[in-house]
Structure 1
Amino acid sequence: MAPSFEEKTEGKSSSRSSDVEVVEVSGVRQDDDRLLAKLGYKGEFKREFSLIETIAFAYAIMGVIGGVSSTFSFVLVAGGHVGMVWGWIIPCCFVMTIALCLAELASSMPTSAGLYYFSAKLAPAEYSALASWITGWANITGQVTLVCSIDYTVAQEIVTALIVGTDGRVTLGTGPTYGILLALLLVHGLICSCGTRLLARLNLLYGALNFCTTIAVIAIFFVHSKKTDVSAHQAFTMYENSTGWQNNAWAFCLSFLASMWTLTGDDSAAHVSEETAGAARNAPIAIISSVSLTAITGWIILISASFATASVSDILASPLPMPFGQLLLDAMGKKGMLAVWSLILTVLFMAGAAQCVDASRVVYAFARDNALPGSRYWKRVNRHTQTPVNATWLVVILAGLCGLVGFSSTALTSLAGASTIGLYISYATPIFLRITSGRDKLKPGPFSLGRYAVPLGAVAVSWVAFITVVLMFPGGNNPTAISMNYAVVFIAGVLVLAGIWWVIDARKWFKGPVPNIGKVDSY
């Protein structure tokens, strides 16, 4: 039977509507590429990340349940119940000021170069290249060590699962754990070598699993808390210092590493802005949304964990590498713990994959401006996937080398501290320039802080200065070569070498971001 006039009309109307949507999306992407061209770069990626996928990407990198489970020992040792509850939320408030400042910069200059591009454009002309150089190397150091630290914790969570699953019959030493780390890095390298469309869709899965697992763990702990009889007064105010440091206030500050490490990745949405449709609007929304969601859900997890922890000392005495696993074991028994642990492990594995993407974009962008040894190789975009595959594998190799610190008893503290310090120094540098020399240089994008930019920026920079000092200290006094916090070695080593390179040679040829397109509008 032939379709009626109404059906034909409806079909044509539907087709026209679809055509209009395609044109609108195409128009947005053309606007993105025009803005990118004004910043000096030609669009080389497909813009496959939508707003929700960009938020999911940033939220997946933070992997809140994975981050909390990995760093649970830090808050237990440095404060017990107080460390869990207040050691998380206090830093989150300061990190939010950093996120707001970065969101403003990403809205104004949506490019994969991100932080070091911001520094170059906001610094005084004579110091533009140097500011860009320092920011770029600090960011790359943080990005690579963050990939390593995430995959190292995944390896430790696998070891924890083996211990529980075999009732302690199978325990792995540092050598096998390092082998697991290398295998994880290899898998992440393969995943991150795929095309942008697949990576964008995977992030939806990452974000959904992260959120659902978080809700499940919160529910489990609140149910278990009925058996522990931990009062609200204990859960929120009971302080226990197991660090070895005599000053309780200082010891409490060491618990901040948990939230600071989990909340690294504030800039991730900026680094995929060249793959995001409507980047000037969507990148800042993703930054603010992901940080807010991670801060809130992480705090609720730790509040529920505080109520579920009957004895901090008993949890710390557990033979498991991850004390969070012992708390789940107490709450659910062996089978239940392993089921939930496998989900947490998967969330952290996905966070590692997302972070590998983020780090590869930073390496690609820095190489695009000829700032890395062998830049001509690392800035190549694969013609099949249209992604920086070479940069991805450089990240994998460097992260594997960083993993050698795993033979130290404080490996996680060192890797988490190094990644956090490196990234937050790279965040603070353009923010500092924004509120000083760049106060009148910034051309606001769709998201602007207006008159609040300077006070928020001042708070953000002051916090980074403080937390950088805190995170370089060892977890206990009188450290040995084995228990030393090697974060300072990573950060100082890279920045000193980068500084020497700058003085001897790089200052002669590195001019900051290099336009790879014809005529560029002045910023």
Structure 2
Amino acid sequence: MTEKIDRSEQRLRELGYKQELKRELTSFTNFSVSFSIVSILTGLTSLYGTALNSGGPAVIIWGWVFVSIMSMCVAASMAEICSSYPTSGGLYYWSSKLAGEHGPFYAWITGWWNLLGQFGCTAGIDFGLALLLSSVISLKTGWMYERWHVVLIYFAILIIHGLINTFLVRYIAAMNTASVWVHIGGVIIILVSILVKTPNKASASFVFTHFINNTGWSSTVYVVLLGLLQSQFTMTGYDASAHMTEETMNADVAGPVGIMMAVGVSFVAGLGYLLALTFGIQDIDRVLNSETGNPIVQIFMESVGDTGALLLLIILLLAQFFCGSASVTANSRMIYAFSRDGAMPGSKYFHQIHPTLKSPVWGVWLSCFVSALLGLLYLIHATAFSAITSIATIGLYISYGLPTFCRITYSRNTFEDGPISLGRFSFPIGVISCVWIVIITVLFVLPGASPVTAENMNWTVVIVAAAAIFIFGNWYFNARHWFKGPVANIDIEEQQHIPGDKMDIDEKVTAVGKQEIE
């Protein structure tokens, strides 16, 4: 009798893949990866000043509520699909299976947009950490840092995260668990500290209704939409739970629950954090024109003093550090899965799992290298950080939307539910998700300031256009001739145990899974 295997491993075999990664993550640790990457203490911190100028407190608070609702729709659509297809390939695998005869095309564009978004996400997180760390050092020493200093700090952070994901894989789950408590505990500490210590807290009318427009645009609606960038950039990265499913027990339940919990818990914690920051504003002009160069540093200093501000900033630094490490983890798993199916240059290297370290080492360092290249844009112009965050948002959300689109069009009547299902709400929620993704994709390539000059130009449109030309051009002139979508890697000797030579690969691997579970 063949040795029994875990239910999740059986399902993975049915989908065409053998177990290579170590399956040891629990439901909580799977959730903790996504929650760490969403990281409300990273995204909301990095772009708080941008949101203050593009709508002010009213847009910051109500924009967060609205974006969280839209993000939960997207997350729910993804979770339903993840429950049926729990693989590290995640989104691009889903597109392949849901698009029928068009599967290879949708898998290709989904995978590449997801990769672009993940590179941008890792870059945005670690670059935000480098900027905040530079501000903290400057606050305590008076050091006047320049752009190249920030880039060097950024490179150092990427190297540290690469080393962690190479040599300390066994501790990643513990780090992500610690990250959850740093985020939740940090929000509580910041909320209580500011509300108790701030001598002249902002009024409720200021926090919930005050509108600011320092963009130069006259359209209130347009400015409100620009102000959503802070919230929407923060609510990214929850697809990490899908990419970690091959390392998660009971993945068809734990993965989708991790996706939705990451959004739900982030909404509650993020709302508390934003309320704390905004009630802590005593003089809006001083905050917007802070000599520290960071409005949150100014709020902390005025609320709890220099020493208290330093302690609160250390919490933010820890949260962002954990976030960046988790982002490299998820990014490397996507690289591993995509190259496993031959979709990347150098696939024979990037799909390898180091036999001793149990990590896709090549994928880890590719993630760090490409993110480092994106960070070099900051040397060209200071607005590059906003472009990086926009790239992350656009790339990830296009990849979130494509499998959902395939689910409600090509597979509306043929989709086989997993344990987690939206039932009759699947179609309307899927439509809402796709419409919202189209809106933000257009929105985040538009200019954020008027009049538009070379100094304030939103260079996202250039990078996204170049990426689109590469992705679609490579498909048309090259990949469509050979890329057939996800490729099963069940061992030939395992397949030989299955009677019958005429079964297709899906039937074979299903038979393998059933045979071994018996």
Same fold per superposition (TM over 0.5): yes
1:423 Cα offset (Å): 0.1
Q: For residue 516 of structure 2, what is the aligned residue in structure 1?
A: none
Q: For residue 361 of structure 2, what is the aligned residue in structure 1?
A: 389
Identity over aligned pairs, percent: 33
Matching of residues 161-172 of structure 1 within 5 Å: 161-166=136-141, 169-172=142-145
Q: Does 1:521 align with 2:506?
A: yes
Q: Does 1:378 align with 2:350?
A: yes
Q: Would you say the 8 A contact 1:59–1:294 is kept in 2?
A: yes
Query: What amino acid maps onto 1:37 in structure 2?
Result: R
Count of aligned positions: 493
Match of 2:89 among 95, 113, 123: 113
Q: For residue 326 of structure 1, what is the aligned residue in structure 2?
A: 298
1:262 Cα offset (Å): 1.0
Q: For residue 50 of structure 1, what is the aligned residue in structure 2?
A: 26
Matching of residues 69-218 of structure 1 within 5 Å: 69-125=45-101, 127-166=102-141, 169-194=142-167, 196-218=169-191
Structure 1: distance between partners of 2:336 and 2:93: 13
1:491 Cα offset (Å): 2.0
What per-residue deviation string (whole Å, max 9, x for no partner) do you get for residues 319-364 of structure 1?
2232111111111111111111012111101100000000001111
The DSSP-based 3-state class of the residue aligned with 2:161 is helix
Structure 2: distance between partners of 1:144 and 1:278: 28
Between 113-122 and 492-501, report the one with greater CA deviation: 492-501
Structure 2: distance between partners of 1:141 and 1:441: 30
Q: For residue 235 of structure 2, what is the aligned residue in structure 1?
A: 263
Contiguous gaps of at least 5 residues in structure 1: 1-25
Q: Would you say the 8 A contact 1:155–1:180 is kept in 2?
A: yes
Q: Does 1:237 align with 2:213?
A: no
Match of 1:303 among 254, 275, 279: 275
Between 60-69 and 505-514, report the one with greater CA deviation: 60-69
1:195 Cα offset (Å): 5.5
What per-residue deviation string (whole Å, max 9, x for no partner) do you get for residues 168-193 of structure 1?
x3111111111111111100000111
The DSSP-based 3-state class of the residue aligned with 2:478 is helix
Query: What amino acid maps onto 1:504 in structure 2?
Result: F
Q: Would you say the 8 A contact 1:435–1:457 is kept in 2?
A: yes
Q: Would you say the 8 A contact 1:280–1:445 is kept in 2?
A: yes
What per-residue deviation string (whole Å, max 9, x for no partner) do you get for residues 129-148 of structure 1?
11011100100000011111
Structure 1: distance between partners of 2:394 and 2:372: 19
Structure 2: distance between partners of 1:224 and 1:257: 30
Q: Would you say the 8 A contact 2:43–2:233 is kept in 1?
A: yes
Structure 2: distance between partners of 1:371 and 1:483: 36
Structure 2: distance between partners of 1:442 and 1:192: 36
Between 79-88 and 393-402, report the one with greater CA deviation: 79-88
Structure 1: distance between partners of 2:119 and 2:70: 24
The DSSP-based 3-state class of the residue aligned with 2:55 is strand
Q: Would you say the 8 A contact 2:60–2:228 is kept in 1?
A: no
Q: Would you say the 8 A contact 1:195–1:386 is kept in 2?
A: no
The DSSP-based 3-state class of the residue aligned with 2:212 is strand
Query: What amino acid maps onto 1:462 in structure 2?
Result: V
Match of 2:374 among 379, 402, 411: 402
What per-residue deviation string (whole Å, max 9, x for no partner) do you get for residues 29-66 of structure 1?
62111100111111101111111111111111111122
Q: For residue 409 of structure 2, what is the aligned residue in structure 1?
A: 436
Q: For residue 17 of structure 1, what is the aligned residue in structure 2?
A: none
Structure 1: distance between partners of 2:440 and 2:21: 36
Q: Would you say the 8 A contact 1:69–1:322 is kept in 2?
A: no
Q: Does 1:287 align with 2:259?
A: yes
Structure 2: distance between partners of 1:357 and 1:287: 16
Query: What amino acid maps onto 2:61 in structure 1?
Result: V
Q: Would you say the 8 A contact 1:115–1:136 is kept in 2?
A: yes
Match of 2:325 among 334, 348, 353: 353
Q: For residue 421 of structure 2, what is the aligned residue in structure 1?
A: 448
Q: Would you say the 8 A contact 2:245–2:251 is kept in 1?
A: yes
Q: Does 1:277 align with 2:252?
A: no
Q: Would you say the 8 A contact 2:37–2:238 is kept in 1?
A: no
Q: Does 1:66 align with 2:42?
A: yes
Q: Does 1:223 align with 2:196?
A: yes
1:224 Cα offset (Å): 4.0
Q: Would you say the 8 A contact 1:143–1:419 is kept in 2?
A: yes
Structure 2: distance between partners of 1:401 and 1:115: 25
1:399 Cα offset (Å): 0.5
Change in Cα spacing, 1:291 to 1:398, as seen in structure 2 (3 Å) is same
TM-score by length of 1: 0.92
Q: For residue 513 of structure 2, what is the aligned residue in structure 1?
A: none
Query: What amino acid maps onto 1:302 in structure 2?
Result: L
Structure 2: distance between partners of 1:71 and 1:224: 24
Structure 2: distance between partners of 1:147 and 1:389: 16
Structure 1: distance between partners of 2:200 and 2:436: 36
Query: What amino acid maps onto 1:65 in structure 2?
Result: L
Structure 2: distance between partners of 1:51 and 1:321: 40
1:480 Cα offset (Å): 2.5
Q: Would you say the 8 A contact 1:156–1:321 is kept in 2?
A: no
Q: Would you say the 8 A contact 1:195–1:387 is kept in 2?
A: no
Q: Would you say the 8 A contact 2:287–2:295 is kept in 1?
A: yes
Structure 2: distance between partners of 1:230 and 1:209: 26
Q: Would you say the 8 A contact 2:195–2:201 is kept in 1?
A: no
Q: Would you say the 8 A contact 1:235–1:306 is kept in 2?
A: yes
Q: For residue 13 of structure 1, what is the aligned residue in structure 2?
A: none
Q: Does 1:475 align with 2:448?
A: yes
Structure 2: distance between partners of 1:187 and 1:492: 32
What per-residue deviation string (whole Å, max 9, x for no partner) do you get for residues 436-460 of structure 1?
1111232111100111000000000
Q: Alpha carbon RMSD of aligned pairs, Å?
A: 1.5
Q: For residue 247 of structure 1, what is the aligned residue in structure 2?
A: 219
Structure 2: distance between partners of 1:65 and 1:217: 11
Q: For residue 23 of structure 1, what is the aligned residue in structure 2?
A: none
1:380 Cα offset (Å): 0.7
